[in-house]
């Protein structure tokens, strides 16, 4: 993988950043989804849900569901994979995942789980125990956050569609050539006549491998940083925008000059992107890592 990249920051009306999207209604990104056919009783299906509780997708008409018609069986472990590769080396991917889902299961004993691999399946990490995450209800209220018992996040009965947002936090590195997510649905030996798990509108962020993080026109340091970063530039800076890994603007610094200090103490740990906008209309972009 090349050392440098340029992250595309496009803000949509929904407030999300530039990302790949899988809505199961077209074939554009369906090649990224693989249902594990080595499991003879795998119940994951893609299509229009016609169940007792799951009667429609989040974005019509299709979603991925633990069977499109029947309740989920007992003693079941069904798996599908989401792979972010297949871009001929042109893209790099971030360990950030967003999707909409509903649950209709017996609490705790029947549940969903998400593992993540950054080395093509050689090792796996539980996204909930090794990452940070939050779950929002349909009104945008946070109802689950990091620290919750992992088997209780995708379990029980949701009140409509919930939005899940997570990022793996194993090291400072959050960019990889390929990331694989493994979605597992588990049921115990008691039949509950539930609909199971339905997922739709999956998003994951990415960047283009292109140019180096910094050019000779400016210098940003330290990187990684804990509390503040310093920027020295040959040109007069008009303002600086800081974005999270999904391209959402988290801070704007309206300071003019060729040398400045930016306080980042209030930012959470992880990867961020910046856009330095000069008085002459030119722009530089890059990334930095916020430590503790």
pLDDT in tens, 166-214: 887 765 445 677 789 999 999 999 999 999 999 999 988 665 443 344 5
Q: State the DSSP string of the chain.
A: --S--B------TTS--SEEEE-SSSSSSGGGEEE-TTSTT--EEEE---SSS--S-SSSS-EEEE-SSSPPPSSEEEEEEEE---STT-EEEEEEEEEEEEEES-TTTSEEEEEEESSTTSS-EETTTSEEEEEE-TTS-EEEETTS-HHHHTBSB-SS-EEEEEEE-SSS--EES--EEEEEEEE-SS-----EEEEEEEEEEEEE--S-S--TTEEEE-SSBSSEEEEEEEEEEEEEEEE-TT--EEEEE---EEEEEEE-TTSPSEEEEEEEEETTS-EEEEEEEE--
The pLDDT, as a whole number, for residue 16 is 31
Output the six-digit token pair for 257.
């000059």
List the chain domain ranges: 19-208, 218-290
Angle (nearest 5°) at CA 247 between 244 and 249: 70
Checking if the pLDDT of 244 tops 50, the result is yes
CATH of 19-208, one of 2.60.120.260, 1.10.3720.10, 2.60.120.1030, 3.40.50.2300: 2.60.120.260
The pLDDT, as a whole number, for residue 132 is 85
Checking if the pLDDT of 20 tops 60, the result is yes
Burial of 17 (0-12, 13-18, 19+ CB in 10 A): buried
Distances (CA, A) of 136 to 11, 46, 246, 267, 279: 20, 24, 17, 20, 40
Highest mean pLDDT among 44-53, 144-153, 238-247, 252-261: 44-53
Distances (CA, A) of 289 to 20, 135, 265, 271, 284: 23, 24, 12, 5, 17
The pLDDT, as a whole number, for residue 206 is 60
The pLDDT, as a whole number, for residue 18 is 45
Angle (nearest 5°) at CA 95 between 92 and 96: 110
pLDDT in tens, 99-113: 999 999 998 899 999
pLDDT in tens, 45-64: 999 999 999 999 999 999 99
- Measured between its terminal Cα atoms, the distance across the chain in Å is 27
Q: What is the pTM of this model?
A: 0.69
The pLDDT, as a whole number, for residue 217 is 82
CATH of 218-290, one of 3.40.640.10, 3.30.930.10, 2.60.40.1220, 3.90.550.10: 2.60.40.1220
């Amino acid at each position: 993988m090349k050392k440098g990249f340029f992250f595309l920051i496009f803000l949509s009306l929904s407030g999300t950043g530039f990302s790949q999207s899988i809505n199961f209604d077209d074939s554009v990104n369906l090649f990224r989804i693989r249902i594990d056919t080595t499991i003879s009783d795998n119940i994951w299906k893609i299509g229009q849900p016609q169940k007792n509780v799951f009667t429609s997708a989040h974005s019509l008409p299709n979603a991925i569901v633990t069977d499109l018609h029947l309740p989920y069986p007992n003693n079941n472990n069904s798996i599908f994979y989401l792979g972010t590769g297949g871009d001929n080396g042109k893209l790099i991917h971030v360990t950030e995942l967003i999707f909409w889902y509903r649950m209709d299961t017996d609490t705790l004993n029947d549940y969903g789980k998400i593992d993540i691999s950054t080395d093509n399946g050689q090792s796996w990490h539980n996204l909930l125990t090794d990452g940070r995450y939050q779950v929002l209800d349909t009104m945008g209220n946070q109802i689950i956050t990091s620290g919750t018992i992992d088997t209780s996040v995708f379990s029980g009965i949701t009140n409509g569609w919930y939005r899940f947002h997570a990022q793996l936090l194993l090291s400072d590195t959050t960019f990889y050539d390929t990331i694989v997510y493994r979605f597992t649905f588990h049921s115990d030996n008691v039949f509950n006549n539930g609909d199971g798990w339905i997922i739709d509108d999956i998003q994951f962020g990415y960047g283009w491998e292109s140019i180096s993080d910094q050019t000779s026109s400016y210098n940003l340091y330290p990187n990684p940083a804990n509390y503040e970063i310093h920027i020295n530039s040959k040109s007069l800076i008009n303002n600086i925008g800081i974005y999270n890994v999904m391209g959402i603007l988290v801070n704007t610094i309206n300071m003019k000059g060729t040398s400045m200090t930016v306080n980042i103490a209030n930012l959470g740990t992880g990867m961020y992107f910046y856009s330095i906008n000069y008085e002459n209309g030119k722009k530089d972009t890059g990334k930095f890592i916020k430590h503790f």
